[in-house]
Amino acid sequence: MLSRGLLCLGSAAVASGKIYFSESFGDGWENRWTTSKWKDSEGTAGKWVSTAGKWFSDEAEDKGIQTGEDSKFFGISAAFDSFSNEGKELIVQYQAKYEKDVECGGGYMKLGPKMDDATTFGDPTAYNIMFGPDKCGYTKRTHLIFNYKGKNVLKKSDLSYKQEGEGTSHLYRLVVKPDNTVRVEIDEEKIYEGSLKDDWELLKPKEISDPDDKKPSDWVDDSMMDDPEDKKPDDWVEEKRMVDAEAKKPDDWDDEEDGEWEAPMKDNPAYKGEWHVKRISNPAYKGFWEAKKIANPEYEDDDALYKYEDFGFIGFDLWQVKGGTIFDNIIITDDKSEADAFAKKWKALSEVEKAKKKEEDDAKKAEEKKDDDKEDDDDDDDEEDKTESEEM
């Protein structure tokens, strides 16, 4: 694996872009990353381990860091020289592999300004961007949160969740552009491309309802009304049950012992149900009333929504019911070709993982079929024994 320094040095010779950070978790990765102590006092801090997982092409080359325990908080971060993405694309990319179903938990990364003390990294830590998969039960999505003026803002609609298929790696890429647009790719497939202004409520609305506009007292917002000319027919029967007029008091009925005899009830054959007045369109209906819109005095446009003055750390701050998630091949750059080079690592590994997963699945199916065939043979033997016993 190449170190971050070697990657940066090599990129300078072949590309005009810049790598701000890269990590493939080779030798010495522990010196480049700081484990959070945020949850140590509660005893809920999980351990990070270095592993390539169950399926790999080259065990040393494919090692990443893994959440090594269940039902724990996991926090780890790495610092780099501060930079601003002003006037250029920001590309963030990383791999995530779930060795088992997380059940409830995240696999997202956080990117933020320089921290004073990385050992305190955790949920309260301010960040600029949060990006990656998140799941709890049937709620699944790919998070993409931007911090704007101190507020973390979620996307108006969720991004698709693609972290399915236990044991195989998925590649996450986020591109933030100077024209205030965003692109998200998972496994080299575009799942979203759109506008920060349109798809996140980062800015105040341009217009608001006029607080001084009141609904007129004679405004009619009921579209339907009772027909004033509709009358219940005189012969309409609403009594569902009636006294059985043909019933006779039994000859052996004793009023003193049995009480006063009352004829039983029966269904009323003339019953027509509950009567309702017919509904007609209301001629006075004016439609749904809403206050008129006026310019929002608090609205301020911002053509630099994409821009952050300081990026200085990347980290994983997670809670997971089931651990076993492996992160690897992280890169932060302004050059697509550099991110593409890292994507090739994922592509090669992904092909191996899929092939090995198929081998395992095929072997499992064959074993299940073998067990089913054995059960069928046992059932046939039992039937033959039963037949022979009956003939004797």
pLDDT at 12: 40
Q: Which of the two residues, 8 and 219, has the higher pLDDT score?
A: 219
Between strands 109-112 and 311-320, the pairing is: antiparallel
Rounded to whole angstroms, the Cα distance separating 322 from 149 reads 34
Q: What is the DSSP letter of 205?
A: P
Over its C-alpha atoms, the chain yields an Rg (Å, rounded) of 35
Determine the Cα–Cα distance for residues 317 and 64; give it in Å rounded to an integer: 16
CA–CA distance from 192 to each of 153, 169, 175, 279 (Å)? 17, 20, 10, 47
**Mean pLDDT for the stretch of residues 292-312:** 97
CA atoms within 13 A on the CB side of 288: 1
Average of per-residue pLDDT across 71-90: 98
The predicted pLDDT at position 299 comes to 96
DSSP state, residue 155: B
Confidence of residue 377 (pLDDT cuts 50, 70, 90): low
User: Strand runs (DSSP E) across 229-359, as ranges?
Assistant: 241-243, 265-267, 279-281, 293-295, 311-320, 325-333
Q: What is the rounded average pLDDT of the residues 160-165?
A: 87
Tell me the C-alpha distance between 76 and 37, whole Å: 9
The whole-number pLDDT of residue 103 equals 94
Phi-psi region of 43 (alpha: psi -120 to 50; beta: other; left: phi over 0): left
State residue 156's pLDDT score.
97
Displacement of CA 117 from its chain's centroid (Å): 31
Of residues 4 and 296, the one with the higher pLDDT is 296
**386 Cβ neighbours under 8 A, 6+ residues apart:** none
Per residue in 189-198, pLDDT (tens digit) is: 999 999 999 9
Nearest to 21 by CA among 150, 119, 109: 109
Looking at per-residue pLDDT, the higher value among 258 and 20 belongs to 20
Average pLDDT (83-92) is 98
Concatenated DSSP letters for 63-119?
-EEEE-SSSEEEEEEEEEEEE--TTS-EEEEEEEEESS--SEEE--EEEESPPS-GG
Give per-residue pLDDT as tens, 223-264: 999 999 999 999 999 899 999 988 999 989 888 888 998 999
How far apart CA 26 and CA 328 sit, in angstroms, is 10
Please list the alpha-helical segments (H only) found in the chain.
4-14, 29-32, 196-199, 255-258, 336-391
- pLDDT of 6 over the 60 cut: no
- Min mean pLDDT across 2-6, 96-100, 203-207, 294-298 is at 2-6
What is the rounded average pLDDT for all residues in the chain?
91
What mean pLDDT do residues 105-132 have? Answer: 98
| pLDDT score recorded for residue 164 | 81
Residue 3 is predicted with a pLDDT of 43
How much is the average pLDDT of 117-133? 98
Greatest alpha-carbon span in the chain: 115
pTM for the full predicted model = 0.78
pLDDT given at position 386: 66
β-bridge partners, 241: 267
What confidence score (pLDDT) does residue 333 get? Answer: 98
- What average pLDDT does this structure show over 4-21? 58
Residue 366: pLDDT band (50, 70, 90) is confident
Three-class SS of residue 158? coil
Span 59-66, average pLDDT: 96
pLDDT value at residue 392: 59
Q: What mean pLDDT is predicted for residues 336-356?
A: 95
